[in-house]
Amino acid sequence: MQFIQNKLKIELQEGQAQIGCWLMTGSPLAAEICASSGFDWVLIDMEHTPNDVAQVLSLVHAASAYPVSIAVRAPWNDAVMLKRLLDMGVQTIMVPNIQNREEAEAAVAAVRYPPSGIRGVSGNSRSNRFGRIKDYFDKADDHICLIAQIETRMGKDNLEEIAAVDGIDCLFVGPADLAADLGYLGKNADPTPQSAMGDVIGRTVKCGCAAGILAFDETEAKKWLSEGATFVAVVGDGFLLSRGMDAIVRSFKD
């Protein structure tokens, strides 16, 4: 079997804007609907959802039937969890709350095989199609796309040293957590956190690293795209379901 290249990583390196959908409901059917809708990528969230590894695998299976890149946000910067996600065939992983070079280097080490990293070796996993991709170990490291989240003042202050770590492909703004850390809990749209988000995106682009952000408002998403962000979450399955249901109920009851 042929090695499966990471299309998302390649297109981010080329500077192509990639819009995606955030999967939080844990529903394979919802994942399939979103994956077949024309997005460049879907991301399965493990940090702020009940999704466990087995459930993530079912969502990966559902989305894999379509020409969409699949990413997973790990619950934390944990080498064992990152290894398990990689072994199930996930090539793009987002790691929350990276605050300095050391944490970025730890994440990179977790997704790379020795001697470049500490990823454990399984010769019979979904990632290598159960041993059928003969050159998997020669190519795997080069096709991992690692996205580090910038979610605190410390991470923002250390942005350049994080972006400089070999193996970090994208810095992704966590709007809610960054706003909270700045003293604006639940007030992402306030000018102060908005300015901080723009600063992260601008400095990331200057570093030559892909920049990303979550923006479920169309106008805001297009603003970040115009400022150089190339990995932008423009909607989520849970967000779309709740807002859509609210709108329908209002249309009958208001």
Residue 27, phi then psi, degrees to nearest 5: -90, 120
Closest CA to 51 of 80, 77, 21, 81: 81
First to last CA, the chain: 58
137 three-state secondary structure: helix
| Cα distance between residue 26 and residue 139, in whole Å | 31
Tokens at residue 145, please? 């796309």
Catalytic residue among 48, 132, 139, 243: 48
Is residue 143 annotated as a catalytic residue, yes or no?
Answer: no
Return the active site residues. Answer: 48
